[in-house]
Each structure stands twice: as C-alpha cells, then as structure tokens.
Amino acid sequence: MKGVDLLKKIINSKQTLVLFANCSVSYNGRAKSFLGKGDRLIIIKSDSTILIHQPVGNNPINYMKQDTQFEIKGSTLYAYNSKEYLDIELHEIYSILNKELKDPQKLELHGTEKHMSDMIYDNPDCIEKGFKPLSREEHTKYGFIDVFGHDSNNNLTVIECKRFTATLDAVTQLRRYVEKIGSLKGVKGVRGIMAAPNISPNAKQMLEDYGYEYRKVDPPEHYGKHRRDQVSLDSF
C-alpha cells in the first residue's frame, strides 16, 4: 500500500511522525477496545509515544506511552510493550509528515492547589482571625494534610483546600485527616475546615453533619478575569 514503505523507514527514526490515515484500531492491555474504520490522525513521537486522534474531541481515542515497540507487517502497524498491544490496520494512508523536533523547554504553571495552600499559610487571617498555621503538607499514614495549625483558642485545626468546588470526596478526605490527627495527638475536638471558593450542597450537608466548617476562600488570583486587549474583533 502507498506510504507503507516510507512509514517503515521513518517509524524508528527518532523523528516526530504524523499520519493522516483511514484505519481500524484494536487495543488490549489495561482494558480492551475496538474502533472501526475511519479517518484519523496518528502521531508517533520521538520517545515512541503513539497517539490516535479522531477528528473531534480533546483526548486521543487510543494511545500508548513511551517505550513502545513498533512493527509493520503487511498494512498493519503493531505497537506493543510488555503488557499492552495496539494494532492499527491501515486501510489507506492519506499523507505522512515527519520532522526532528527540538524542544528543551518546560512548562511554567501557576495557580495550583499548592499556591492556594501557600496563600493560606502566608495569610492565615483569610481563614479566621487568630489562626496560626504550623505546617504545610503534614504527612500522616492516612494521607497528608494541606494546612495544619491552632486556632485562637489553641484548638488543633486541619484545613483542606480545593481550587474549585469542594465535593463529597474532599469532605471525606478532610474527615480522614481530622480523625487521624485526633488519634495521633491524643486529643478530641480537632477542628476541620474546608477552604474553597465553592462547595456542593451535599458536601456542605456532610461537612455540617460531621461538625466541620466551610470557609469561602478564593484562589490567590482570579484566573478567569484576564483580558487580552491586544486582540481586536477586526483583526482579519
């Protein structure tokens, strides 16, 4: 089939490879899947990561991580490692593009939950007046705690923070920490505080059932508000 010989040449060339093709895909590994005939975008990276994308959607429909081996037999591309198998039956290759890409950069990311717990640690008054944080990310056998300290009456206080809506899971997490701290330090009446910009109704209910408290705390910056004034509507 047209393109297969070229594909064989470059498949292990440490270049990044892009393929428009009509194909069927089957996967067997952590789960099992089959995808019938259709046009897709197949990407093979220089670290042998393979991604198969349909023309719509955010995520690859099939994929395998780095350290994948490739073989082409007939018009089928086999990708496999020790535990997983991906078979791509190529019905037609529309085009192939390949290039050695050089990219030394790493992403700088801001506005994570870590930044939020740092903000609480540095500005404890946003929780309540007199709160004195003792540590960040206290490790316990039952998990680790975002922020941990004393309130103005010297009660041990555990804070769990979430960047967005606090869910049932977040409340059970908080509960686990409060109980663990209580048993570790041998005290009762450890306070639990959920710090988040929002909380779901059921999570709020559960929080109150356990005698814990909710504090509305916005993330360090409000990240949706940035306006790019340099883009005007008539830029075309």
With binding defined as CB under 8 A, does residue 187 bind a copy of itself? no
Sequence letter at residue 93? I
- Tell me the closest approach of the beta carbon of residue 57 to a copy of itself, in angstroms: 7
Residue 210 binding result from DNA, a copy of itself, none, given CB thresholds of 5 to 8 Å by partner type: none
Which one of 129, 154, 228, 229 is in contact with a copy of itself (CB under 8 A)?
A: 228
Residue (122 or 223) nearer to a copy of itself, CB: 223
Cβ-based burial of 82 (10 A; exposed 0-12, middle 13-18, buried ≥19): exposed
Residue (59 or 232) nearer to DNA, CB: 59
Which one of 13, 135, 165, 183 is in contact with DNA (CB under 7 A)?
A: 165
With binding defined as CB under 8 A, does residue 186 bind a copy of itself? no
Instruction: Let me know: does 144 contact 137? Beta carbons within 8 Å.
Output: yes
Which one of 122, 168, 189, 211 is in contact with a copy of itself (CB under 8 A)?
A: 168
Residue 108 binding result from a copy of itself, DNA, none, given CB thresholds of 5 to 8 Å by partner type: a copy of itself
Residue (71 or 169) nearer to DNA, CB: 169
- Residues 32, 35: Cα–Cα separation, whole Å: 11
Give the position of tokens 């259709």: 38
Residue (54 or 198) nearer to a copy of itself, CB: 54
- Residues 25, 35: Cα–Cα separation, whole Å: 5
Instruction: Let me know: does 1 contact 92? Beta carbons within 8 Å.
Output: yes
- Residues 230, 223: Cα–Cα separation, whole Å: 18
Tokens of 63: 């994929």
The piece of 44-52, 120-128, 130-138, 150-158 that touches a copy of itself (CB under 8 A) is 44-52
Alpha carbon dihedral 216, 221, 225, 226, in 10-degree steps, equals -170
Q: How many CA atoms lie within 13 A of 216 on its CB side?
A: 2
With binding defined as CB under 8 A, does residue 104 bind a copy of itself? yes
Residues that bind DNA (CB under 7 A): 27, 29-31, 33, 57-65, 84, 86, 107, 109, 111-114, 139, 141-144, 146, 160, 163-165, 167-169, 173, 176, 198, 200-203
